[in-house]
Amino acid sequence: MASNSQNHNKNNIKIHEHCKVPPPSSTPTSSLPLTFFDTLWVRFHPVERIFFYSLQTPLSDPSHFFRKVLPDLKTSLSLTLQHFSPLAGNIVWPSDSSKPIIQYNPGDAVSVFIAESDTDFDHVLDNSPKEAENSRLLLPHLESSDSLASVLSLQITLFPNRGFCIGIATHHAVFDGKSSTLFIKAWASLCQSLTNGESLLPSSTLVSKFEPFLDRSVIKDPSEMGLNSTPSWTELMMELFPGESTEKRCLKILPFHPKLEDKVRATFLLTRGDLEKIKKRVLSKWDIVEQERNHSSKPPNLSSFVLACAHTLVCIAKAIHGIEKDKEKFGFAFTVDCRSRLEPPIPDNYFGNCVWGLFVDTEPLDFIKEEGLVIVAKSIHSTIKMMDEKGIFHRYDMLNRFIDMAKDGVQIMGVAGSNRFGVYGIDFGWGRPSKVEITSVDRSLGIGLAEGRDGGGGIEVGIVLNKRVMDLFDTLFRRGLCDAK
């Protein structure tokens, strides 16, 4: 499975090998069309995550790692790819097709880099702010050109005598966060079988809950869903990236470069108790704090997603405004899983994109107001409630709203990941993750969400901010929890 090994140093990273891991040779040619949910993301930046695992000696000793751990990871990856063969292929645009497709041909394979880092593993796992660029060394590049785009790329990095990490770059046009997590869980399941001494064959089956549902025909055409048109993201992209190719059939990922200069990355935990405090504060002022755009009645409860996003985003906006006074206008956009919201609903293990974007109905100055927390929480809750009542496509003017807000100097904040994905349960056979990071939040102003690693019902929030802004954010984040008693 490996090509010729190569060694070079990039700061504290040594690349031992660049290999190609294919599915078993018996895996047939396959192709999948892109639905309109997928085509929105064709030129969008990769979604990048890092899973960190601590290892007990002797497995964390380099000789044992390369002799035992790494072979099991590669073998199980190959066996998993036979069930997810599109991931070993590429996005292409046939001349006789109106849309790109995902094409797998025998011989296609996933690019895997094998690396070693001399960075202090405890420092890597620490949640406190650290240079944002450090994580970038643990991620692979996802190749793309005008005519072809890779779907998946991996980097496995050993921290000698301590642990390792798996850096994953995925093409958003092929799958959403729920689908990519399904693949990683399937891979971990087969790898765990190997580490337990089971003999796996190319015909090895997956546990049924990890089997992907690959039939794209369950996604109706936009017109059948009540959409007269779908957003033309090409127009938006050309607004954001003047000078880039406007050719309709171009597949090259646009340069959403990571924002790393003078930036730090940190992870914050909202415990179940913290979320309860925030909820009590929001509900206690629900009928007092008025909004111009919605007047929904006070609910009996609020989701952890609403509470975590409202608290974090308000603190981000106030921190940025506190350091840079001219930045005072903010907005929030997020995606919702549509699998259970379509008519009829589609299988939960549907493999592909099935998310739709929503803008929260806030005024640009709402985030920095004294009662910004309550206003934003009410707005997120109301947006989700309205979608559930009127359908996911009751409003689909996101493109125009985005362009108008951007022209008005509004900074759009976003969110990646979910506290429902269960990433801290992904065990390859050597224990649960010590840390999971959504690294690609450094490509925009956004937050990464995951469930708390202790399983106590909390939420982890990952962010990347300017160093001075992060200091103020830290203060506001903690003070807000004290005030929300």
Which sequence spans correspond to the domains of the chain? Answer: 9-240, 263-483
How high is the pLDDT of residue 417?
97
How high is the pLDDT of residue 243?
83
Segment 178-220, tens digit of pLDDT: 999 999 999 999 999 999 888 777 666 788 999 999 999 999 9
Confidence of residue 6 (pLDDT cuts 50, 70, 90): very low
How high is the pLDDT of residue 443?
96
The reply to whether 263-483 shares the fold of 9-240 is: yes
Residue with tokens 């990871």: 73
Cβ neighbours around 324 below 10 Å, total: 12
Percent of the chain with pLDDT over 90: 77
CA proximity to 315, closest of 250, 366, 274, 373: 373
- Please state, in angstroms and as integers, the Cα–Cα distance from residue 104 to each residue in 20, 25, 27, 30, 403, following that order: 14, 12, 9, 5, 36
d(CA 380, CA 264): 27
How high is the pLDDT of residue 40?
87
Q: What is the SS3 assignment for 317? A: helix
Segment 413-452, tens digit of pLDDT: 999 999 999 999 999 999 999 999 999 999 999 999 999 9
Confidence of residue 113 (pLDDT cuts 50, 70, 90): very high
Lowest mean pLDDT among 76-80, 233-237, 248-252: 233-237
Among 61, 427, 471, 474, the one annotated catalytic: 427
d(CA 452, CA 268): 10
Segment 11-54, tens digit of pLDDT: 589 999 999 999 999 999 999 999 989 998 999 999 999 999 99
Confidence of residue 228 (pLDDT cuts 50, 70, 90): low
CA proximity to 381, closest of 439, 329, 319, 306: 306
Query: Between residues 197 and 105, which one has the greater pLDDT?
Result: 105
Secondary structure element (H or E) that encloses residue 179, with its range: helix 177-195
Q: Please give the class, per CATH, of domain 9-240.
A: alpha beta
Q: Report H helices in 128-176.
A: 133-136
Q: What is the CATH number of domain 263-483?
A: 3.30.559.10
d(CA 316, CA 305): 16
Mean of the per-residue pLDDT values for the chain?
91
Segment 299-315, tens digit of pLDDT: 999 999 999 999 999 99
How high is the pLDDT of residue 395?
64
Q: Is 408 a catalytic residue?
A: no
Q: With helix as H, strand as E and coil as C, how does 37-61 read?
A: HHHCCCCCCCEEEEEEEECCCCCCC
Instruction: Count Cα atoms within 13 angstroms, Cβ side, for 89.
Output: 23
Segment 148-189, tens digit of pLDDT: 999 999 999 999 999 999 999 999 999 999 999 999 999 999
Lowest mean pLDDT among 25-34, 235-244, 392-401: 392-401
d(CA 267, CA 464): 9
Q: Is 61 a catalytic residue?
A: no
Among 83, 171, 172, 311, the one annotated catalytic: 172
**Is the confidence at residue 4, as pLDDT, over 70?**
no
Cβ neighbours around 457 below 10 Å, total: 15
Which residue type, as a one-letter code, is found at position 264? V
